[in-house]
Amino acid sequence: MARFAQLLVVSQLSGYVVAFILSFLTFIPLILHQKEFRGRCVLFTTGTWSEEDGQLVASWASPLFCDYCIVIGIFLIPFCALGIYRSSKYLYYQRDCIFLFAFLDAITCGVFAVLYLIAALFITIGFQKWCRTITKRFESCQDATVNAIDVKDNIDTSWFYVEVGAAQFGAWATWSVLVGLTVFATLKVWQSHQQENIRLTMAQNRRKLCKGAVEDAFFDFT
């Protein structure tokens, strides 16, 4: 395995390991958040504050915003596990992957990067919208964690700020790693394509040499 190819595989292996770890930071906090909010999701949720008891009358957004981020995080785990296995195998046996696998890897990394960008935007923009509602009464969004703001819906707000904040960090960090993996995979495609061209050129040259040797032998015989 050439030095450049080996460096690419090591970079991919490191990226897959980091993305594997960060994926848990994306979906686990959101699962805990939905459990504490009785299946609801704060992303893009708005509401008004009651003048009588100071409680939030929430207009709950669809839980699909949280569900999407959870599903994408879960789906990333087997993909990263497969990437770790394949990269480790290439390093151990000192072999390069074939062009088709490199191409599929680049496409899949690019798709996951786009999907994770959408998830990160959902969490960031949706959480900002929720916090704008909270700050109509409180000084900061975090202040709602120490107050029972929605007794009617029986939600536990103690950890929502930490949980959604952790998911937001995990989503953006994972997206940046996936962008890096897409770049590495694209370079791997280019490198595999170059190797295929070299092998084809060498095979053509060997055929020409063999053909020339046969023709020379034939003329010498005649």
Residue 216 lies in a domain: no
Q: What whole-number percentage of the chain has pLDDT above 70?
A: 83
The pTM for the full model equals: 0.84
Residues 154-173: tens digit of each pLDDT: 899 999 999 999 999 999 99
Q: Tell me, what's the pLDDT at 189?
A: 83
Residue 220 lies in a domain: no
- What one-character-per-residue DSSP string does the chain give? --HHHHHHHHHHHHHHHHHHHHHHHHHHHHHHHHHHTTT---TT-EEEE-TTT--EEEEPPPTHHHHHHHHHHHHHHHHHHHHHHHHHHHHHHT-PPPHHHHHHHHHHHHHHHHHHHHHHHHHHHHHHHHHHHHTTTSSSGGGGGGS---TTTT---SSHHHHHHHHHHHHHHHHHHHHHHHHHHHHHHHHHHHHHHHHHHHHHHHHHHHHHHHHHHHHHH-
Residue 211 lies in a domain: no
Residue 208 lies in a domain: no
Residue 130 lies in a domain: yes
Residue 158 lies in a domain: yes
Residue 197 lies in a domain: no
Residue 166 lies in a domain: yes
- Answer yes or no: is pLDDT of 51 > 90: no
Question: What's the domain count of the chain?
Answer: 1
Residues 53-100: tens digit of each pLDDT: 889 999 999 999 999 999 999 999 999 999 999 889 888 877 666 777
Task: Provide the domain limits for residue 50.
Answer: 3-190
Q: What is the pLDDT of the chain when averaged over all its residues? A: 86
